[in-house]
A and B are shown apart, each in its own frame.
Chain A
Amino acid sequence: MWTALLLQAAASGIVTGCVYALVALSLVIVYKSTDVVNFAGGELLMLGGYLGLLALIYFEVSYPLMIVAVIVAMFVVGALFERITLATVRGRRYAKNPEADLVPMVVATIGLGYLLKGAVRVVPYTEEVRRLPPLVTGPPIFIGDVVLQRQDVAIIAATIVVMAALIVFFGWTATGKALRATSQNPRAAALIGIPVQSMRMIAWGLAAGLAGIAGILLSPKLLMTPDMGNVVMLAFAAAIIGGFSSLAGCVIGGIVLGVVQNLVGVLYSPQAMSVTPFVVIMLVLVLRPQGLFGELAFKKV
């Protein structure tokens, strides 16, 4: 009996871990491209979920069209935030040390989070817990004693596809390489003709679009409230475990976190589940600060 119990807990943990990983991927894109830690990642996910729900309810669009519309809308939101807010903040140059400029930008992302949460709360549908219809429906899938919903399988598949697409994008496409170059040395990137400002807009647009996809996939599973963006703390944990600069690492970090959380819940107590991510973060930061798959960064001075 215990084997079946633990297998089921682990399987559900993998799905939940993929949830964390999808949000973590959105965070890592921004970090890899602009060095900014995006504290509004959770709220962008929440916005994507609500936009999807409102598109289905108010405009009665089909599910595929809704997904496309949400990705486009979220891309615009992300790009505009970069253009209007971050570019302005960056242009002011608060300190002689460029790295100190990151602080107001990080604070700006916190502000974006509050702004989005406040804006969404004005919408009537946000007064109660809501649920976006699942992307995939049908009877559950049994693998031995383990049962998974079809939406769970869709989340796992989407996480793998998104991760693979991002690895290809950053590793093999000109735009992806330009984004990385922009992150590593914006001045040198500009000197060789990379439009740095546009690259940053693209990075934020991509991250917001990905958060929108995550919102659509996660809203049927986590349920929707304006506070659902709190899941971002678990995404940070996933990214830190995997290594903040590694796309595959943050997916594996998310899965590790989801599985460990569930096993702690089954073997010890569900009360300990909310503490588990932070214990794991502490352990990783002490034992392997670059994360399981990250690399230690050195800067020549």
Chain B
Amino acid sequence: MYRLNSMRRTALGALAALAIAGPAAAAEPGLTDTEIVIGLFGPLSGPLVGYGLDPINAAKMWYDDINAKGGIHGRKIRLVVEDDKCTANDLVAAVKKLVTVDNVFMLHGGSCTAALTAAQEYINREKVPYAMLNAAGDNAVIPPLRYTFGAFHGTQRTYAAALTGFAIKELKVKRVAVIVHDDDYGKANLLTTEAILKAANVEVVAAERIPPNIADVTAPLLKIRAAKPDAILSGAYPAPAVLIAQKYAEYGMTAIPLLQAVQGIPTPAVFAKNVGNPAALENFYHGWSFTDVGDEAIKKKYADMYKKHYPDREAGPFMITGLPSAMAVAAALDKAGRNLTRESLVAAMESLDFKPEIMAGPLQFGPNRRDAMRSGFVVKYDGKTQKMMPGVYTWNGKDGL
């Protein structure tokens, strides 16, 4: 009898202890006392692998370093990595597999906004916290969705605000021409640019919207030349950005500053080679939101860190874009504390406000804000050297909405 009572008491005690100490850990998928499982995904194959391979490596590197230092509140981070090929079908399949088969605690990934927006409805329905890797399209984060946090290096509105702010403040422009694509990104860029210029009493003398697959930019460039602007703001993608710079030089417009948003110049040296005309870059600027251009020590620090983790691979230009989201996830996990739940992580992300040394400004969210980075620099590039221009320009969260 005594023996039975003793066993019963022990069992009840164990159940009570579990009820008091471990309800959160037991209830949350992908979370134990010793580990947090994160589903990491991005393009690891296919035509857009360049956007994802190095950023994923960079995020893994950051988590590995955290684990080497003991993890976060006693828990190590375990990654389950999936290839999304930057296509909607593959990305949705990867996300569903990570959530239902691997039972991850949270998701971290995506290099292509168009693909990841296909999974957002599912992610929010399942209430899985999700940090975008390096995708930064406006329509993934504006309007905000509760479980999605992204744009860690700026949306189109951030890029537009940086270039426009610089043109007004440093170039003292009074007449501006804008050339963007006729898609959602171009629309966000144009609306923001026009709003900022209007507030500063600067006239938009030409606003050209071009198809992303345009083969000849003669018509828009001729219209811009005829409008006699003080500066040209371009939100073009890589191939049209090169065509624009070529025509701009061909039509003798190099006295007019040409300011290109960052998405058009993924690798400055390749861009310069493609343009093939040094005159086109005599008065050329581009946007950027990382401090690695102006600070050699930071550039070297992260390049060395990457080399240490991946001795056989040279870091590509997108490597650094994988870091801010990993830094933000780690900071939020730390802030959420030991009693971690998916909801407490969302709350921690919402109240996040810190500035990594690699970024132009702070990474911030809020109850109605899901785009992390609103600050950007402008860099002058002559085809050989990049020179950081003075000032940090910040989107106010209203222009262009």
Contact = CB atoms under 8 A, between A and B. Distances in A.
Interface of A: 1, 5, 8-9, 12-13, 16, 19, 121, 126-131, 133-134, 140, 147, 149, 220, 222-223, 225-227, 230-231, 234, 258, 261-266, 269-271, 273-274
Contacts, number: 94
Interface stretch (B43-51, B145-153, B164-172, B339-347): B43-51
Contact of B267 (A128, A131, A270): A128
Contact of B213 (A134, A230, A266, A270): A230
Contacts of B274: 129-131, 223
Contacts of A13: 216, 218
A48 B33 CA distance: 58
B214 A19 contact: no
Nearest to A6: B222
Given A8-B222, A13-B216, 18 more contacts: A1-B226, A5-B222, A12-B218, A13-B218, A19-B215, A129-B239, A131-B276, A147-B251, A223-B239, A223-B274, A231-B215, A265-B218, A265-B220, A266-B219, A266-B223, A269-B209, A270-B209, A270-B223
30 contacts: A1-B226, A12-B218, A13-B216, A19-B215, A121-B47, A126-B47, A128-B50, A128-B270, A129-B238, A129-B274, A131-B273, A133-B276, A140-B250, A147-B250, A147-B251, A223-B239, A230-B213, A231-B215, A261-B216, A262-B218, A270-B208, A270-B210, A270-B211, A270-B214, A270-B219, A270-B220, A271-B209, A271-B210, A273-B210, A274-B213
B218 A127 contact: no
Given A121-B47, A131-B273, A273 B209 contact: no
A18 to B, nearest CB: 11
B337 interface: no
Given A133-B276, A134-B276, A271 B211 contact: yes
A258 B217 CA distance: 12
A271 B182 contact: yes
Contacts of A12: 216, 218
Contacts of B270: 128-130
B289 to A, nearest CB: 20
Interface of B: 46-47, 49-50, 182, 208-211, 213-220, 222-223, 226, 238-239, 242-243, 250-252, 266-267, 270, 273-274, 276
Contacts of B242: 129, 131, 223
Contacts of B250: 140, 147, 149
A263 B216 CA distance: 12
A271 to B, nearest CB: 5
A191 to B, nearest CB: 46
A156 B84 CA distance: 43
A217 B5 CA distance: 91
A9 B215 contact: no
A130 to B, nearest CB: 7
A134 B275 CA distance: 11
B263 to A, nearest CB: 12
A121 B46 contact: yes
Contacts of A225: 239
Q: List the 3 closest A-B pairs by CB distance, nearest first.
A: A265-B219, A12-B218, A127-B50
A16 B270 CA distance: 24
Is the contact region of chain A dominated by helix, strand, or loop, or is it mixed? helix
A16 B222 CA distance: 16
A145 to B, nearest CB: 10
B206 to A, nearest CB: 11
A6 to B, nearest CB: 9
Contacts of A140: 250
A265 B222 CA distance: 10
Given A129-B242, A223-B274, A225-B239, A234 B215 contact: yes
A47 to B, nearest CB: 15
B49 to A, nearest CB: 7
A274 B276 CA distance: 26
Nearest to B217: A270
Contacts of B276: 131, 133-134, 220
Contacts of B243: 223
Contacts of A134: 276
A63 B121 CA distance: 53
Contacts of B239: 129, 222-223, 225
Contact of A9 (B213, B218, B238, B273): B218
B222 A9 contact: yes
Most buried by B among A126, A226, A269: A269
B286 to A, nearest CB: 15
Contact of A274 (B50, B214, B217): B214
Contacts of B215: 16, 19, 222, 231, 234
A147 B219 CA distance: 14
Nearest to B225: A5
Contacts of B182: 271
A16 B243 CA distance: 13
Nearest to B181: A271
B44 to A, nearest CB: 13
A221 to B, nearest CB: 8
Contact of B222 (A19, A127, A133, A266): A266
B226 to A, nearest CB: 6
Contact of B211 (A8, A226, A273): A273
A263 B103 CA distance: 57
Contacts of A133: 276
A251 to B, nearest CB: 17
A16 B256 CA distance: 26
Contacts of A263: 219
A257 B15 CA distance: 79
A162 B179 CA distance: 36
Contacts of B49: 127
